[in-house]
Structures are given as C-alpha cells and as structure tokens.
Amino acid sequence: MIKSRSPIAGLFMTFDKARMPIVGPWGKRPRRDRSFAQRMLAGFGVAALLLLALLWAAPPASLGPFGWATIVWALLVLSFVVTAVAASRRRLSSMAVDLAIWLAIGVTLAAFYGYRFELRDMGDRVLAELIPAHGRPDGEHAMSFRRSDDQQFWVAATVDGRAIRFVVDTGASGVVLTKDDASRLGFDPDKLDYALSFQTANGTTHGAPVMLGHVRIGSIEFEDVPATVNQGELSQSLLGMRLLERLSRIEISRDTLTIRQ
C-alpha cells in the first residue's frame, strides 16, 4: 500500500528545502554580491579619495573664477557614477576593469591634447623626411626643406588654392610655370602671349607673363606674384630669384634650405 503523506509533514519538508543552501552546477555555493549599502559606502570612499587628489593637484583658487563650480560639477559626476555602480548587479572586479580601461583612454587623450604642439612638430619632421618638398616649420614665418635624392630643393606651395610643386632654381629670374601647372591654375596656355624671351642653357625660350594672386609656402605667404608660363617643354615649375628676393633670409646649410619671410 502507498502511504499517504500528511499536509503537516509536507509543510515541514518544504520549509527544510527552503533552508537548504543553493548549490551551483559544480557543487559550489555561488557568492553573494555585496549589498547596495556596502557598494555605496565603498564607492563614496573611493570618490572621496579622488576628490582629495583633485583638490591637491588643482586647488579651486588655481582654476580661476569657476574653481568652485568645477569642484561642484566633479562632485555631481562622482555621485552619479557611485550611485550607478552601487545599483548595478555586476561584480565590482569586472566594473573596476572597465573603469580602468576608460581611465586609461581618458589619460591617453589628455596626454595627446597636452602635447599636441610637440606631436605636431614631430609629425612635421617625419613628413619632411618622407616628403622633402613638404618642409617643416623652423620658427615664425620660416620653413626648412631637406635636399632630395636628386640633389635639388623641392618646395610644395599653394598657388591660388592649388597645390603646385616647385624646384628652387637660383638661376631662374622669377617664377616659371609649366603649361600643365598653368592649366591647373586656370590659364589657357594656347591663348597666352609668349612675347618674353629668355636665354637658358638649352638656348632661347619664350614665355608668357601672368600674375599669381596668392602664393603660400607653409607659414610664408606672398601676394601678387608675377610669373611666366614657359612655352617649351619644361618638366617642372621653377621658383626663381624674384620671389626669393622678397624673403628676409635664405640659407643653405649642408643639405637644408631655410627661408624666412
């Protein structure tokens, strides 16, 4: 015969099961997460340490007229972060790892911003080594160019909004443009008047006078620059003496050309 179980006995068995410890799938009892109050207490302790460090590193008086406003804003942000962390059900260790990652990202961005001018100068130096025509700033309104592998000094300039690459030629009387570069600047080589004649190493050549509105070489700028469009098959545009004479300084030291306005 099957023995029936009384309702009272079943009630006691249910109560005993409720008091039994919960066992995980591997036979271990899972850890209980910290309570909300414990999380809040620990979070505000860390926030207090951070606030003291902030006050030590940057006192309110050193932050200008908005010093105390900055401190209050920092308190509000810390309070929001602590409350969010305390209300979360994730483990503190996992959140600490995420916080450390975001903190590292913030410090890296701050370092990049703090050293932005040094990084820009370093970038200019690297670019000048890779592309000699780009040059690099060498003080206020001064540029330096490294001699390229063909033993020439190349200069990348912006002429009336267009990028034009010149080769420095002290033997040229002025700025000389190829037909291709003249076309890029909006001139029609077929409609120009090649009335000027020049004596070169290859004989007599003719050119057409034009006017360039604005020439910029790095931090150096020129307005109303007369130039000539070469009628022959000139391979590269030339940066001649008429423009170089406008500069206050031209110096060639070893393999570096320095120009200053």
Q: Are residues 254 and 172 in the same domain?
A: yes
Query: What is d(CA 153, CA 155) in angstroms, rounded to the nearest whole number?
Result: 7
Which pLDDT score, from 0 to 100, does residue 128 have?
A: 55
Q: Are residues 159 and 253 in the same domain?
A: yes
6 in a domain, yes or no?
A: no
Percent with pLDDT over 70 in the chain: 66
15 in a domain, yes or no?
A: no
Decide if pLDDT at 181 tops 90: yes
Q: Are residues 177 and 231 in the same domain?
A: yes
Better pLDDT: 108 or 124 = 108
83 in a domain, yes or no?
A: yes
What residue numbers bound the domain in which 102 lies?
34-114
Domain count for the chain, please give it. Answer: 2
Residue that terminates a domain, selected from 81, 114, 147: 114
Q: Are residues 148 and 235 in the same domain?
A: yes
166 in a domain, yes or no?
A: yes
47 in a domain, yes or no?
A: yes
Q: Are residues 51 and 156 in the same domain?
A: no
pLDDT in tens, 12-42: 455 454 455 554 455 555 454 456 677 777 7
Q: Are residues 85 and 143 in the same domain?
A: no
Decide if pLDDT at 146 tops 80: yes
Q: Are residues 102 and 154 in the same domain?
A: no
157 in a domain, yes or no?
A: yes
Residue that terminates a domain, selected from 64, 80, 114: 114
Which pLDDT score, from 0 to 100, does residue 11 have?
A: 44
127 in a domain, yes or no?
A: no
- By CB atoms closer than 10 A (0-12, 13-18, 19+), residue 209 is middle
Average pLDDT in the 150-176 region? 89
Does the global pTM surpass 0.75? no
- CA end-to-end span of the chain, whole Å? 114
Average pLDDT in the 41-53 region? 74
Which pLDDT score, from 0 to 100, does residue 15 have?
A: 46
What is the full DSSP assignment across 57-77? HS-GGGGGGGHHHHHHHHHHH
Q: Are residues 137 and 256 in the same domain?
A: yes
Better pLDDT: 189 or 85 = 189
Q: Are residues 102 and 145 in the same domain?
A: no
Whichever domain contains 198, its CATH number is 2.40.70.10
Mean pLDDT, rounded, of the chain? 76
Residue that terminates a domain, selected from 114, 149, 167: 114
CA-based angle 149:153:156, to the nearest 5?
110
Backbone angles phi, psi at 90, to 5 degrees: -75, 160
Which pLDDT score, from 0 to 100, does residue 101 have?
A: 81
Better pLDDT: 2 or 111 = 111
108 in a domain, yes or no?
A: yes
How many CA within 13 A on the CB side of residue 2? 2
Q: Are residues 41 and 82 in the same domain?
A: yes
Q: Are residues 140 and 84 in the same domain?
A: no
Average pLDDT in the 74-99 region? 71
Which pLDDT score, from 0 to 100, does residue 72 have?
A: 75
Decide if pLDDT at 153 tops 70: yes
Which pLDDT score, from 0 to 100, does residue 229 have?
A: 93
pLDDT in tens, 184-231: 999 999 899 998 887 776 677 889 999 999 999 988 999 999 999 998
Q: Are residues 104 and 140 in the same domain?
A: no
Which pLDDT score, from 0 to 100, does residue 225 have?
A: 92
